[in-house]
Structure 1
Amino acid sequence: MALAAAAVLLFATACSDGDDEPASTSPSPTSSASSPATTPADTVTITMENFAFSPANPQVRPGEKITVVNKDSAAHTVTATEGDAFDTGSIAGGKSGTFTAPSEPGEYAFVCTFHPNMTGTLIVG
């Protein structure tokens, strides 16, 4: 009997690869999803509410896309006061639009052409 047990032990040891870790038969999880280039946190949004821009002085990168959300019932615009650097055109109440920041760094004053008391400065840097 002892001889049979020794033979089994010898056979089991001979088949071992010397690695004391148990073999894993389940595949390890892998992730093939990649991060998006731009996350929602990176998106600049100007909100028009209570006849005011928020933020009034947004900071953006040159050429960055900016979302404009009108939470008022009246139409508004985001229009550069000098030249034609940007202009959303009329954005109806409850709607949104987009525009692209100028490619040149600097400070660009803007206004709602319907409500001249609504002003702000786009800081491109």
Structure 2
Amino acid sequence: MTRFGSSIGALLLIGALISACGNTPAPSTGYGAGGGASSVATSSGVPGSPAPATAGPTITISGMAFGEPLTVAPGATITVVNDDSVEHSVTSKPETGFDTDIDGGATKTFTAPTQPGEYPFVCTYHPNMKGTLTVK
């Protein structure tokens, strides 16, 4: 073999080794070789990242329901977590205390009324959803 031929052969071998080292196989997704994708979506919207921590009083909307009644201090900041995929609202009845719309999968806050009392609320989009906020 000529000197030129052995140089090309060496370059091809080096290129093949570099290419093989940088080729990392894709993780298995359970859909067969190379098909499909798998990720965990969180309320932060970033696959694989943890859901944002909520401190303080929280209303969690899940399964088209508000969950347990909530008692808070006057003027408290309340976090609303909408685990459903559709928009909801947290609207006091009568409309004297608070009214917050929240997109599906989102988290939002609002301020509780400053006057103590019981504040029934509904979802204006789904009137069968009812809850109670107690301020004391």
TM-score range, shorter-chain basis? 0.5 to 0.7
Within 2, Cα distance between the matches of 1:43 and 1:83? 24
Compute the TM-score of the two structures, normalised by the length of structure 2: 0.59
Long gaps (5+) in structure 1: 1-39
User: Out of 58, 66, 73, which is 1:53 matched to?
Assistant: 66
RMSD: 1.5
Long gaps (5+) in structure 2: 1-52
Residue aligning to 2:97: 85
Once the 2 structures are TM-superposed, how far is the Cα of residue 96 of structure 1 from its aligned partner?
1.1
SS of corresponding position for 1:77: strand
Within 1, Cα distance between the matches of 2:102 and 2:71? 21
Deviation per residue, 1:88-120 (Å, 9 max, x gap): 1x2111001111110000000100000001001
Q: Percent identity?
A: 54
> 1:2-81, aligned counterparts within 5 Å?
43-55=56-68, 57-81=69-93
Matched, 1:111 2:122: yes
SS of corresponding position for 2:89: coil
Compute the TM-score of the two structures, normalised by the length of structure 1: 0.63
Larger radius of gyration: 1
Higher relative contact order (CA 8 A, sep 6+): 1
Once the 2 structures are TM-superposed, how far is the Cα of residue 76 of structure 1 from its aligned partner?
0.4
